Structure formats: C-alpha cells, structure tokens
Structure 1
Amino acid sequence: MGLYKCVVYDKDKKRKNLKIELDSEEEINNYISINELTMVSIKTIDNKESIKLKEKELKILCRQMGILLESGCEITKMIEILRNQSNNKISNILSEIANHIQRGNSITESFQKSKLFSTFFISMIKAGEVSGKLDTVMYSLADYYDKEDKVKSKIKTVSIYPTILLVLSAASMLIIMTMVIPRFEMIFISNGMNPPLLTKILINISSFIRTTYIYIIIVILGIIPTSIHFIRNSTKVIRLKNNLKFKTPVIKNITQLVITTRFCRALSMLVESGVQIIDAIDISAKIIDNKFIYEKLLISKGYIEKGNSIGHSLNLFNVFPKLFISMINIGEESGRLEESLKTIDSFYSNDLDTKIERIMRLIEPIIILIIGVIIGIFMVAMVMPMFDAIVSI
C-alpha cells in the first residue's frame, strides 16, 4: 500500500490535488478512470503526512453526513457530494475513504484504514453501521465535537488572555529598564547623588540588560524551542505535567471538570450506541488524553471486569467528583445509566462554563495588581530619591 499525490482535472475542468492510498500506479489509473478524472501528474509520497482534523472540521463533516444520510443518500454518493464541496484536506480524506469502500470494505473499515480518526469515532461509526442508525450517530458526533470545540476555545481564551497581558507587561518593563532608568541614572551621577540600595539594584539590572542583550536574546531563542520540544516529547515531563494538572489547587478543579465532562459525554454516547461498558470505558479513558488518568482508569476497568460495580471501580483513585460517582451508582442501580450520564454531562458542562467565566473575571484584576506593584516599586526606587534630593535643597 502506497500513498500517491495526484494533480487531476475533474469533469468540470476544475484542477484538484488528491492524495490517494493504493497498491500501485495501475490502481491509481483505474481510480482516475472510474471517477472521470484527467491525470496531470502523479507523485509517490514515502511517508504519510501527519494530518489532524480539528473539532470544528469534524463537527461540520459529521453534521453534513447526518443530513445526507437522513435524507436517504447512498454512502458513496454522500461522500462524492461532500468531497466536491469540501476543502482540499477533507476532500483528500474522503477520496481515500471512498476508495476503500469501492474496494469492498465496510464503512467502519474504510474510516479506520485512513488512520485519521480516533478509536471513539470509529467505535461510534461501527455502532451506527451495525444498528442501521448511522445518521443518528453522525448527529450525536456533531453535537459531541461542537461541545468539545467550545470547551477547548474557552480554555484557550483563559490561557491566551493572561499571556498577552504578561507579554505586554514584560515589554513595558523592558522599555523602562533600557530607556527610562538610564535617564535617572544620568541625573543621579550628574548631581552626585547616592541612591538607596533598591535604586542601585534596578540600575545594575538595567545596565546588565543593556550590555548583554544580544547574549540574552540568543539564550532565549535557544531555550524556548528546546524546552517546547522537551515538554512535548519527554515521557517523564509529560507524566509530571499530567500529575501537576491534577494536584495544583486552581488548575486541579478545572482539570477535573474537563476530564469528567469529556469522559461522561463519550461514555454516554458509546453506551447509548450499544457499545459494551468495558470497551466504552476504555475508549472514553483514551479520549481524556491524560496518561496519568488513563492508567488509573485502566485499573478501574479491571475491577469492573472482575464483577465490581462501575461506581465503586471508578471511585478507587479520586479521579472524579463525589457527585459524579453518586449519579453513576444511582444510574447503575436503577438500570438507567444512559440517562444518569446525560444528566451528569449537562450539570458539569454548565459548572465548567461558570468556573471558566469566574477565572476570566479574576485574572484581569490579579495581573493589573501585579503590574501595579511592579510600577510602584519602580516609582519608590527611582522617583522618591529625586523628591528627597529636592526637599533637602
């Protein structure tokens, strides 16, 4: 099986770039002929490029597929319609899926062989294909990815806003250190003034930055990319980061809410679609994307396999809030686990929104207070000696 990049013209004379995974160029030519395309060029790609579909893209794709399937559109016709109106990335993915279907693979196998969709997505597709309710599953997936997109957007907003303020604050302090403090230093020297210790410290820091700024820039440019690479690829650092997320006071609450809503939402959809509870828990645990939590949930899954209740098994490691466990126990005992999971999802989604908004309201005054303290220190260190000198005259 090889990956080929083809430049073609369709029957409407529109130029397209396609990435097709087939066994040989002969099969590529057959594919081109069947789809009434005109080949311009073909190139073999040794390694499949890393493509990641965003939640927003998945949301739109699933919604469109749900609408077309509900209207009675046949699967290959549906993919053809979506392929013609999607961007190049989605169009190439759909072309590959259509190719697998044309070769006799099931819908689930065709999506799975693209290697671009999560285990959760594939499991939902399989459940929909087996039950004959693929359109309903697609609508559920669209709602799921819509909620995921909103949660991620809010979390990004929480992290980006203070970052911008801190960068602006650092830039302001750099200007003060390199442009303002040297002027005060000249005034002190020209008037023979002996400034206090705090003022001398700021003057020395300013002098150090001005004389070594080239080396500082080189060090920063070297440290930042190295640190990012190390944080993303080091197993020990990733484990430490995941542990800290669940132990740092303020971050812990948000992390726990995010984990609970993601796990509960996925588990609810999988159970409702007919996936066995053991498999559903394993798939939902992977969605959390936190190895620290995933390892704990694997142990909980083992306890369930031994005959223990779901609530008791999930409560072993304090991963989820007590209310979540209580609702799981109620749902399990009453035989209405799906409804309990939906209620939990709704409750914790609202709670997450409330806490994120609260954090947003607190971040701004905290950063302003920090900036105010820094400016206050500067005023005391640089301006007060000037007033003292004037008063003494």
Structure 2
Amino acid sequence: MPAFAYKARNSRGELLTGRQEGTSPEAVADELARSGLIPVEVRPAKATGEFKLSLPKLLGDRVSDLDLMLFVRQMNSLLKAGVPILRALTSLADSAVKPALRNVLNGIREGLAAGRELSVSLRRYPNVFPDFFVNMVRVGETTGRLEEVFLRLYHHYEFEIDMRERVKGALRYPAFVVVAILAAIVVINVVVIPAFAKVYAQAKVELPLLTRILIGTSDWMVHWWPLLLGLLVLIVIGFRLWVGTPAGAYHWSRLLLKLPIAGKIVHKAALARFAKSLAVGHASGLPITQNLTSVARVVDNVYLASRIEQMRDGVERGESLTRVAAAAGVFTPVVLQMLAVGEETGDIERLLNEVGDMYQRDVEYEVKALSDQIEPILIVVMGILVLIVALGVFLPLWDLGKTMLRR
C-alpha cells in the first residue's frame, strides 16, 4: 500500500505533519477527518533518492484561484436558477476545460451520489479547496444558504485575485529596476572597461586609483564569472530552501512588510485581505475562532498569519477581538478602531468591509504612485554608477591626451 505525506490541523489549528498509508490521497484525507484532524495537504511520499517530474504540473494543469472563482460564480447562478446540485456539478464537469478541474468536479459529484455532504466531498481535495472554502460551504449547508455562500465566495476570490495581481505589479517594477542595474554593471565590467584597459596598457601611463579598482574588478569578473554564476545559483537555491522552512517563511514574511517602499503596499494588501475575509466568514455565520483560523490561512503572509492565530488563542481565553488585535501589534489604528466600534454596535461585518475597501483603494493609489517613488532612487543610483565609470575611464584619457600634446 502506498505511503502519503500529509499536513493537517487539529482542533486548535496547530499544523501537524506525518506519513500514512492508504489507497489514495482521498482515502487518507477521509481517515484524517474521521480521526478529528482537518487535512491541509495530502501527497504521495517520495522515497529516498526518488525524483519524479510531474507533466501536469509543468504544463500548469492545476486548479487556480481563478478557476475556483468561476466555479463558485457558476454554482451560484445554477442554484439560483433551481438546478439540482448534482446536475449542476455534472454540467460544470462536462464543460470544464482543465482536466484537473474536471477530475475534481467528477470526484465531488461521485461523493454526493454516494451520500456524502458537499463540504465532506470538498474536504477530500485539500490541495484545491482551502479550509476557508470548505468551512463556508459547511455553514451554507447547515443554514440552507448555500447559494448565498457561493456568491460571497465569488466576491472573496475576486478580491483576492485583484489584490494579488496588484501586489505582484507593485513588486515587479522594483525587481525590474534592480535587474536592469545589475545587467548594466555586468556589461560595463565585461565589455566597456576591458576595451579601455587595452588602450591604457599600450599607452603605459600611470592610472588613478579609481581606474585601477575598476580594471581589477573587471578582470576578476571576466576570469571568475563561472564562480559568480555558480554563487548566484546557490544563493537563489538557498533562499528558496530557506523560505520553504517554517522559520524562513516567518522571517521573510516579516521582512517583506518592512521593505522601504513596497513593504507598505504588501502590508495594506494583507490588511485588506484580512478585513474582507473576516467579514465574509462573519456574514456566513462562522464561529469567530474558526473564522480567525481560516483567515490566517488566506492572508498570504506567514508572519501575519501567526499573529492572527495568536488572536484566536486570546479569543478562546475569553478576551475581546479588539483587545487581542491590539496585542498582536500588526494592525493599524484604523483597523483597531473599526473593530472596537463593530463590537460595540454589533455591525462588525459592515465596518470590516469598509476597512477592506479603504485599504484596497490605498493599494491602488500606492501602486499607481510607485513609479514616481522609484524613479528618483533609480536616477540617483544610475547617476552614481555613471559618475564612477566616467571618472574611472575618462580621467586617464584626459591625462593621456595632455601627455601626447606635450610631445
């Protein structure tokens, strides 16, 4: 019987990992659910030294957030039209373009036909449907508001995708600037400086210190570029491995929030995601502790997620949501004030949505203004680079020209 590696959470939301034998990932997920755990990820366990290349993964054949957004929108429309859920799933499976999505929908349909609830069938695919999704559907089944829950999930994913794309767009420009500067440094050291170095060598003139430093750096880069390339690859691989560890992901997520310009965009986007997700869960009737656990997994920042889980622990001890949010130390005064007013008036859903909308507008503004903020930095960096190269390369030419005129 094959072995599967799993990640699951207990009733307190703590992440557990292990290995378990089973006939399929779905069977292992069912066994974990029966034992009181919430499956997060179930995948085949790799044997030592084994290396498998997944063709569907290479081709991008996986269920994305965009697929889920379209799925819940279509489910909302079909249920609103009075189509039975089994027939709706059959129709969506037959019209699905991605094989991965079609297989998942067929599996859910088979689970429903076998007498399982929809939330239980969804939980068999932890890599596709996150806990937030499953918990919302389960509440919709319990309250008879499944159609409304699917509409809320659609707005949730629409907001998530928009925020993610805006943050990626905000970080893409600084990354491009850094790459352009590094490329310019490489071209100068590999092409420009060696050409001038030949002229200086033939002239046999004494060179200034700055020029000697530039020529020495260029020679070192030309002769040792394989070492530099290998070092760069090792740094990238090491960074990815480090970020893949819990401690590395935690520290990198915290550092990401403190970046000079892009950090506040990432922070505001995370706060908007927190407020909107908490509002959606609250409106759907999720218990506050379960809602906070689900929200912690959708904020897309490990550091903030750990703080939200601490909030959940405080709420379980009987503290108010405003007090535990203030103790977390990651929320702005606006968020804390809205939470306090919402708890006092009982209108927390509307106020959280207002906070989410406010930070969404702030992110849009910050993204538009990012180029204006980056441009002065780029001009200064490029100006310093040009000044160093000009002084190092052209001063010897000036001295060489004066020497030739004297002759």
| Same fold, judged at TM 0.5 (above) | yes
Moved more, 283-292 or 182-191: 283-292
Query: In 2, distance between residues paired with 1:306 and 1:212?
Result: 60
Matched, 1:308 2:319: yes
Please identify, of 303-312 and 137-146, the stretch whose mean Cα deviation from structure 2 is larger: 303-312
Q: In the alignment, residue 144 of structure 2 is paired with which amino acid?
A: G
The DSSP-based 3-state class of the residue aligned with 2:147 is helix
- In the other structure, the counterpart of 1:117 is 129
Deviates more, 1:211-220 or 1:101-110: 211-220
| 1:339 lines up with 2:350 in the alignment | yes
Aligned residue in 2 for 1:13: none
Partner of 1:56: 66
- Report the CA distance shift for 1:299/1:222 in structure 2 as closer, same or farther (over 3 A): closer
Does the Cα contact within 8 Å between 2:76 and 2:150 map onto a contact in 1?
yes
Q: Describe the SS at the equivalent of 1:316.
A: helix
Written as runs of structure 1 = structure 2, the 5 A alignment for 1:171-250 is 171-232=183-244, 234-250=245-261
Q: Are the counterparts in 1 of residues 211 and 393 from structure 2 also a CA contact under 8 Å?
A: yes
* Cα 1:336–1:286 shift into 2, 3 Å: same
Match of 2:331 in 1: 320
Q: Quick check: 1:2–1:21 contact (8 Å CA) kept in 2?
A: no
CA offset at residue 46 of structure 1? 5.8
Unaligned runs of 5+ in 1: 4-19, 24-44
Residue 266 of structure 1: aligned partner: 277
Q: How is 1:1-393 mapped onto 2 (pairs within 5 angstroms)? A: 53-86=63-96, 87-115=98-126, 116-232=128-244, 234-392=245-403, 393=405
1:141-180 per-residue CA deviation (whole Å, 9 max, x = no partner) reads 1111111111111111222223223323322322221222
In 1: Cα distance, 2:74 partner to 2:383 partner: 51
SS in 2 for 1:389: helix
CA contact (8 A) 1:111 1:117 kept: yes
After superposing the two structures, state which structure 1 stretch, 234-243 or 189-198, moved more. 234-243
The 1:242–1:168 alpha-carbon spacing in structure 2 relative to 1, beyond 3 Å, is closer
Give the superposition deviation at 1:296.
2.8
For these two proteins, the number of residue pairs brought into alignment is: 355
Q: 1:110 to 1:299 in 2, by over 3 A?
A: same
**Aligned amino acid, residue 237 of structure 1:** G
SS of residue paired to 2:328: coil
Deviation at residue 114 of structure 1 after TM alignment? 1.9
Tell me if the contact between 2:167 and 2:266 (Cα under 8 Å) persists in the aligned partners.
no
User: In structure 1, what is the Cα distance between the partners aligned to 2:243 and 2:309?
Assistant: 25
Letter in 1 for 2:91: I
Across the aligned residues of Structure 1 and Structure 2, the Cα RMSD in angstroms comes to 2.6
Contact 2:62 2:100 in 1 (8 A): no
Does the CA-based 8 Å contact 2:65-2:157 persist in structure 1? Answer: yes
Post-superposition Cα deviations, 1:330-355, rounded to whole Å, max 9, x if no partner, equal 11111211111111111111112212
State the secondary structure of the residue aligned to 1:369. Answer: helix
Q: Give the TM-score normalised by structure 2.
A: 0.80
- TM-score of the aligned structures, taking structure 1 as reference length: 0.83
Determine if contact 1:182/1:206 at 8 Å carries over to the other structure.
yes
Decide which moves more: 254-263 or 184-193.
Answer: 254-263
**Cα gap change, 1:90 to 1:289, in 2 (>3 Å):** same
SS across alignment from 2:327: coil
Counterpart of 1:343, as a letter, is E
Q: 2: CA distance between counterparts of 1:92 and 1:283?
A: 26
In the other structure, the counterpart of 2:12 is none
- Shift of the alpha carbon at 1:273? 0.7
Taking a change above 3 Å as real, the CA distance of residues 52 and 316 of structure 1, as seen in their structure-2 partners, is: farther
Note closer, same or farther for the CA distance 1:302–1:227 as it changes in structure 2 (3 Å cut). Answer: closer
Tell me the distance in 1 between the aligned counterparts of 2:26 and 2:271. Answer: 41
* Inter-partner Cα distance in structure 2 for 1:389 and 1:194: 9
In the aligned structure 1, how far is the partner of 2:200 from the partner of 2:119? 77
Give distance in 1, aligned partners of 2:358 and 2:166: 17
* Cα separation, 2, equivalents of 1:368 and 1:229: 34
For 1:35, the equivalent position in structure 2 comes to none
Q: Distance in 1 between matches of 2:291 and 2:25?
A: 30
- Structure 2 stretches of 5 or more lacking a match? 4-23, 28-42, 47-53
Q: Measure the CA separation in 2 of the matches of 1:373 and 1:83.
A: 59
Relative to structure 1, the CA distance from residue 272 to residue 2 in structure 2 (aligned partners, 3 Å threshold; closer, same or farther) is farther
Cα separation, 1, equivalents of 2:348 and 2:182: 51
Cα distance between partner residues in 2 of 1:183 and 1:88: 56
Point out the more displaced range, 213-222 or 97-106.
Answer: 213-222
